[in-house]
């Protein structure tokens, strides 16, 4: 197996002898001098850090050279501001993008170690909740690969998204102390530390208004390199950490309270302590507003500093006028940051900011009293920017509120949705009045994913099979996958694609059995729904199908059924009661189904604990069926749907988000599309949704609900799921029952096709061949040309060992 496991995969770069020997030396040097020093025995973690440092050495020269080029060429720079960057692990991605993976594998093997085992030691950088934070990470990869002078700006949270433990079927959160052992990829840059002001008051003087008596928090930057794919470009992600100044609070205490004053430094530093664990949900907490303002205020100062000094290594201002600012700067606000009230900085009109919005839940609003107390100038600024009634920035009522969405639309030169259906909702509903006023401001940019991480890194077997047929250019031009359509009937190709999937399933099964002690049938259909747990994503619909299948097997045990392993994974926001109940229901269904001898290996229901980027890289390549079943009109785009499509899973889904465009690209007949469309949902909203009507009419649905309600799945606590049943019957905004019948029927078609492996694999090939549109390279190219006004470049920067042109 060893030689099979280590067979050289050409798409991972050739292992030249020079590279291998150099990497070995570098590894040993770091192990002995940087890490182990006075200890006699190296641990596996020491080996990981030695390898990370050896790989980082290959980045640094390219990083410095890239930044030199930018200072000399002085291109227009792109600034991507987000409160979340869900990066995952960095080691393997860096090896892939530098073309070093085979060389590292060989070097590590020669040293008697296993590369995969070392990769598993790395912590995920979990500085995001889900799709939005991961999108930001994919975009950084694409911007570097396309040679754009781009910078990611965010917060260096000390604690990222919590680690999820399942205890007795319930989610329990544990703090994610991801920096515990240090982070080999970041470089602190104290020389670029900046002050951010809070609180205080506005004083009106003869020279104008001044913001005085503020509390200062320092923003300390940490830089992480972002390598493009084999083009020697290395961009920068700069994350801010909050530090108290040395005189923090000292002036307010007498000498006796010195200790208290030093302890109070934590209050300032709490700003970057922890990521808010909410996905698609606004939390109106003061700390959250502080985080938004902190990242924007520090970033804008940094942008202006860089704009003023355009020569490499020169911090003295070179530019004194802001006239050319919009020609040299484009800033994108990815997360609803408090970006646009900052016109107190030296540039007031903002033709350089663009914005993306997600419309699932009510738009965020802040009370002016929050704004006034925390940022004395901003509440007044917002009132000054206010326009008309329905488009008002200030929402009138018992408690006045500042509508941040309206503020950002007013302050941005472009606003976009992230899938065609979503952009139409943004124009026709969410921001209709703004669209009527300035239609040219609104665009669509359908999301994408990076094929480096989501194919090359996570599914090298499939990448290799594709490269053998069409060459390797698809890695940076995913539209080339269309060429695979000519091989849809090629028996050898069909066999190879099916074989890779089966190998991925066997590998994943082994990991699952080790973790969950459940025997998996690797020839069963791997039916997977992994995403944040939320009512609108309708994990409950999936549960109802699982119960329906279970009841069918029980009532007809001799009948032959298509075996399925249903896997559901994802985190629930800690304060979201219904989402936590949904997890408990999934684990309870699994308890009953997985231990029923009548069912055997025909059906398993598994909750995948602690779903995160590094886990996605394992489960997605092993999946047969991808569940994308949100109520039409609620999912802005989705990106997991694209990852499954690219990795050879078929999609069962509603006409929502990017599913619509996936069906358009591959042909609706090559996806399993079911359920209400947006128009049907709107019509049902008009006439009123009556869940009981479906409960009374559909016997299998009624049986499933009665089982949940009666305690069949929770015998020790029969009333456990009362809240879930009550919601489904009387308060379900997402209309689960309305799509139940169509969903169960559609799942029948899935079973039918799965029984014909050749036809199933042909559909898989058609899907892979049609997934080219969903590369983040295409998305970023559209942003660059149509919003930012820059042109992607295929030019390679010369590597550090060659002279510069």
Q: Which pLDDT score, from 0 to 100, does residue 558 have?
A: 92
pLDDT above 90 for 263:
no
pLDDT tens by residue, 437-467: 999 999 999 999 999 999 999 999 999 999 9
Q: Which pLDDT score, from 0 to 100, does residue 310 have?
A: 67
Domain boundaries, the chain: 339-445, 460-775
Q: Tell me the C-alpha distance between 701 and 697, whole Å.
A: 9
Contact between 245 and 218 (Cβ < 8 Å): yes
Average pLDDT over residues 381-403: 75
Contact between 413 and 789 (Cβ < 8 Å): no
For residue 33, name the pLDDT band (cuts at 50, 70, 90): confident
> Could you tell me the sign of the dihedral formed by the alpha carbons of 80, 86, 90, 92, in that order?
negative
Q: Which pLDDT score, from 0 to 100, does residue 256 have?
A: 67
232 phi-psi bin (left φ>0, alpha ψ -120 to 50, beta other): left
pLDDT tens by residue, 191-235: 999 999 999 999 999 999 999 999 999 999 999 999 999 999 999
Q: Which pLDDT score, from 0 to 100, does residue 752 have?
A: 98
pLDDT tens by residue, 616-663: 999 999 999 999 999 999 999 999 999 999 999 999 999 999 999 999
DSSP 8-state symbol, 799: P
Q: Which pLDDT score, from 0 to 100, does residue 363 have?
A: 53
Contact between 636 and 358 (Cβ < 8 Å): yes
pLDDT tens by residue, 225-248: 999 999 999 999 999 999 999 887
Mean pLDDT of the chain: 91
Average pLDDT over residues 425-439: 93
Query: For residues 315 and 704, which has the higher predicted lDDT (pLDDT)?
Result: 704
pLDDT above 80 for 583:
yes
pLDDT above 70 for 375:
yes
Q: Which pLDDT score, from 0 to 100, does residue 284 have?
A: 72
Q: Tell me the C-alpha distance between 627 and 747, whole Å.
A: 11
pLDDT above 60 for 341:
no
Q: Tell me the C-alpha distance between 164 and 170, whole Å.
A: 10
Who's near 598: CB < 8 A, 6+ residues apart?
A: 553, 554, 557
Average pLDDT over residues 312-332: 80
Q: Which pLDDT score, from 0 to 100, does residue 494 have?
A: 98
pLDDT above 60 for 20:
yes
Bridge-partner residues for 567, per DSSP?
A: 528, 606
Residue 264 has φ and ψ, to the nearest 5°, of: -70, -10
Q: Tell me the C-alpha distance between 500 and 764, whole Å.
A: 12
CA distances from 530 to 538, 584, 605, 625 (A): 11, 16, 13, 11
Q: Which pLDDT score, from 0 to 100, does residue 1 have?
A: 44
Characterize the bridge pairing of strands 414-417 and 201-205.
unpaired
pLDDT tens by residue, 111-164: 999 999 999 999 999 999 999 999 999 999 999 999 999 999 999 999 999 999
pLDDT tens by residue, 722-760: 999 999 999 999 999 999 999 999 999 999 999 999 999
Among 777, 735, 795, 693, residue whose Cα is nearest residue 454: 777
What CATH class is the domain 460-775? alpha beta
State the helix-helix crossing angle for 577-594 and 539-555, rounded to 10 degrees: 20
pLDDT above 70 for 512:
yes
Look up tokens 């009106």; give the residue: 204
**Count of helices and strands (H, E) across the chain:** 31, 25
pLDDT tens by residue, 689-725: 999 999 999 999 999 999 999 999 999 999 999 999 9
Confidence (pTM): 0.94
Q: Which pLDDT score, from 0 to 100, does residue 9 have?
A: 61
Bridge-partner residues for 627, per DSSP?
A: 652
For residue 518, name the pLDDT band (cuts at 50, 70, 90): confident
Structure tokens at 258: 């010195």
Who's near 675: CB < 8 A, 6+ residues apart?
A: 629, 632, 654, 655, 738, 739, 742, 743
Helix (H, G, I), strand (E, B) or coil at 605: strand
Q: 512-541: b or e for each residue (b if 16 or more CB lie within 10 Å)?
A: beeebebebbbebbbbbbbbbbbbbbbbbb
Q: Give the rounded percent of residues in the chain with a pLDDT score beyond 70.
A: 89
pLDDT above 50 for 570:
yes
Average pLDDT over residues 468-478: 97
Q: CA angle, corner 316, sides to 72 and 348, nearest 5?
A: 90
Among 637, 734, 652, residue whose Cα is nearest residue 131: 637
Q: Tell me the C-alpha distance between 430 and 447, whole Å.
A: 19
**Within a 10 A sphere around the Cβ of 300, how many other Cβ atoms?**
21
Residue 243 has φ and ψ, to the nearest 5°, of: -130, 140
Q: Which pLDDT score, from 0 to 100, does residue 404 have?
A: 82
Q: Tell me the C-alpha distance between 677 and 691, whole Å.
A: 18
Q: Which pLDDT score, from 0 to 100, does residue 435 have?
A: 94
Q: Which pLDDT score, from 0 to 100, does residue 348 have?
A: 37
Average pLDDT over residues 516-537: 95
């Amino acid at each position: 197996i060893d030689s099979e496991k280590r067979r050289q995969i050409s798409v991972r770069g050739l292992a030249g002898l020079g590279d291998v020997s150099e990497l070995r030396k570098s590894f040993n040097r770091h192990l002995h001098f940087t890490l182990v020093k006075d200890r006699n025995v190296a641990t596996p973690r020491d080996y990981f850090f030695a390898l990370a440092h050896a790989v980082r050495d290959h980045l640094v020269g390219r990083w410095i050279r890239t930044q030199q080029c930018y200072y000399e060429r002085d291109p227009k720079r792109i600034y991507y501001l987000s409160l979340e960057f869900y990066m995952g692990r960095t080691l393997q991605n860096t090896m892939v993008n530098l073309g070093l993976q085979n060389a590292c594998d060989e070097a590590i093997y020669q040293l008697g170690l296993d590369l995969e085992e070392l990769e598993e030691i790395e912590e995920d950088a979990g500085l995001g909740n889900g799709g939005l934070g991961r999108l930001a990470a994919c975009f950084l990869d694409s911007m570097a690969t396309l040679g754009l002078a781009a910078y990611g700006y965010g917060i260096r949270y000390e604690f990222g998204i919590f680690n999820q433990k399942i205890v007795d079927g319930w989610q329990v959160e544990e703090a994610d102390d991801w920096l515990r052992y240090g982070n080999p990829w970041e470089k602190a840059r104290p020389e670029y530390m900046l002050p951010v002001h809070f609180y205080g008051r506005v004083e009106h003087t003869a020279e104008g208004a001044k913001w005085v008596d503020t509390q200062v928090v320092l923003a300390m930057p940490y830089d992480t390199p972002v390598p493009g794919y084999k083009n020697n470009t290395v961009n920068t992600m700069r994350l801010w950490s909050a530090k108290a100044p040395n005189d923090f609070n000292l002036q307010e205490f007498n000498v006796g309270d010195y200790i208290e004053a030093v302890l109070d430094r934590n209050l300032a530093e709490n700003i970057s302590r922890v990521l808010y664990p909410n996905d698609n949900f606004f939390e109106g907490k003061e700390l959250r507003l502080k985080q938004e303002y902190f990242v924007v205020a520090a970033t804008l100062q940094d942008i202006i500093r860089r704009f003023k000094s355009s020569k490499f290594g020169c911090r003295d201002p070179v530019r004194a006028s802001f006239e050319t600012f919009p020609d040299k700067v484009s800033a994108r606000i990815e997360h609803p940051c408090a970006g646009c009230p900052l016109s107190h900085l030296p540039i007031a009109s903002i033709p350089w900011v663009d914005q993306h919005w997600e419309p699932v839940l009510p738009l965020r609003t802040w009370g002016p009293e929050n704004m006034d107390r925390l940022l004395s100038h901003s509440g007044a600024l917002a009132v000054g920017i206010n326009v008309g009634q329905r488009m008002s920035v200030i929402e009138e009522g018992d408690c006045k509120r500042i509508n941040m969405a309206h503020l950002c639309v007013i302050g941005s030169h472009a606003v976009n949705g992230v899938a065609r259906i979503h952009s139409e909702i943004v124009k026709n509903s969410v921001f209709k009045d703004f669209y009527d006023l300035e239609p040219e401001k609104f665009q669509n940019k359908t999301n994408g994913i990076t094929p480096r991480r989501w194919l090359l890194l996570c599914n090298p077997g499939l990448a290799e099979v594709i490269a053998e047929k069409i060459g390797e250019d698809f890695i940076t031009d995913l539209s080339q996958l269309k060429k695979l359509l000519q091989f849809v009937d090629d028996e050898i190709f069909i066999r190879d694609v099916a074989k890779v999937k089966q190998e991925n399933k066997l590998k994943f099964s082994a990991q699952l059995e080790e973790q969950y002690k459940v025997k998996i049938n690797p020839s069963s259909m791997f039916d997977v729904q992994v995403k944040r747990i939320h009512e609108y994503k309708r994990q409950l619909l999936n549960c109802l199908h699982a119960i329906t299948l279970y009841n069918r097997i029980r009532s007809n045990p001799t009948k032959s059924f298509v075996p399925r392993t249903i896997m559901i994974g994802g985190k629930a926001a800690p304060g979201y009661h219904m989402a936590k109940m949904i997890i408990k229901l999934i684990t309870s269904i699994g308890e009953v189904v997985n231990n029923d001898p009548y069912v055997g290996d025909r059906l398993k229901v598994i909750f995948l604990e602690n779903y995160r980027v590094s886990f996605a890289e394992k489960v997605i390549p092993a999946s047969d069926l991808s569940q994308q079943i949100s109520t039409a009109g609620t999912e802005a785009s989705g990106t997991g749907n694209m990852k499954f499509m690219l990795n050879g899973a078929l999609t069962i889904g509603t006409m929502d988000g990017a599913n619509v465009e996936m069906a358009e690209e591959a042909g609706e007949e090559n996806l399993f599309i079911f359920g209400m469309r947006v128009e049907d949902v709107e019509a049902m909203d008009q006439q009123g949704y009556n869940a009981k009507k479906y409960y009374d009419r559909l016997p299998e649905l009624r049986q499933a609900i009665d089982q949940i309600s009666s305690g069949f799945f929770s015998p020790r606590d029969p009333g456990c799921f009362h809240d879930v049943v009550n919601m489904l019957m009387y308060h379900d905004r997402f209309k689960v029952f309305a799509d139940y019948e169509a969903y169960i029927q559609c799942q029948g078609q899935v079973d039918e096709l799965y029984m014909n492996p050749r036809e199933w694999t042909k559909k898989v090939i058609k899907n892979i061949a049609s997934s080219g549109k969903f590369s983040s390279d295409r998305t970023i190219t559209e942003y660059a040309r149509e919003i930012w006004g820059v042109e992607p470049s295929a030019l390679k920067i010369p590597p550090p060992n060659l002279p510069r042109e």
